[in-house]
Structure 1
Amino acid sequence: MHLILYSKIGCHLCESLQEKLEQITDLDIQLEIRDITTNPAWFDRYQYEIPVLYLQADGVDRPIPRFSPRADAAHVQKILQQYSQSTGGSIPFP
């Protein structure tokens, strides 16, 4: 599972989500961190929204609904499993 996390240094919500994603061991996650301060287009798009997480599959980036900052790693894992298995139907909300 290839995940893209739009983030920036000093964003505590971003750091918290990254830590939770790194704690997940039951899924094969390739986590790509994109620092929005390194790309003006990313900054313009995400400056007020980070952290923003996408699942990349079949050349398509699918946004994953925002997790509650209170969600633990197990909850994040459960939602990611459901989301990666969804086939265009309803999207589980974290």
Structure 2
Amino acid sequence: MKTLILYSKPGCHLCEGLAEKLAQSQLPFTLEVRDITQNPEWFQKYQYEIPVLCKLSQQASGLAEQALPRLSPRAPLRQVERMLRNHLNFSTVE
């Protein structure tokens, strides 16, 4: 199963909106939400960019994170799923 990581922080309405859309998705993936306020490295890297959605992929050197394209906060669920299909190599059948 594919794994997504959502970098977020409490009270971020953009993060909450994306998390809600991901929860509504019918695509098979697991979602790990990471609170950037709990890790100084995450905070330093993402404090001005959240929400940031990344995919985990297997590389020769181990697991690697790759940030996915940023969507408009107003993007409908259908557009979110289309982006996920394209970047996670899901079937494009709708």
TM range (shorter): 0.7 to 0.9
* Aligned positions, number: 85
Identity of aligned residues (%): 52
Partner SS for 1:66: coil
Aligned partners of 1:44 and 1:60: how far apart in 2? 19
Matches within 5 A, 1:43-62: 43-58=43-58, 59-62=63-66
1:1-94 equivalences under 5 Å are 1-25=2-26, 27-58=27-58, 59-85=63-89
3-state SS, counterpart of residue 74 of structure 2: coil
* SS at 2:56 equivalent: strand
Structure 2 residue runs of 5 or longer lacking an equivalent are none
Question: The residue matched to 2:43 in structure 1 has which SS?
Answer: helix
Specify which structure has the higher proportion of strand: 2
Give the unaligned 5+ runs of structure 1: 87-94
For 1:4 and 1:51, the matched residues in 2 are separated by 10
Deviation at 1:85, TM superposition (A): 2.1
Measured on the aligned residues, the alpha-carbon RMSD in Å equals 1.2
Displacement over 4 Å in runs of 4+? none
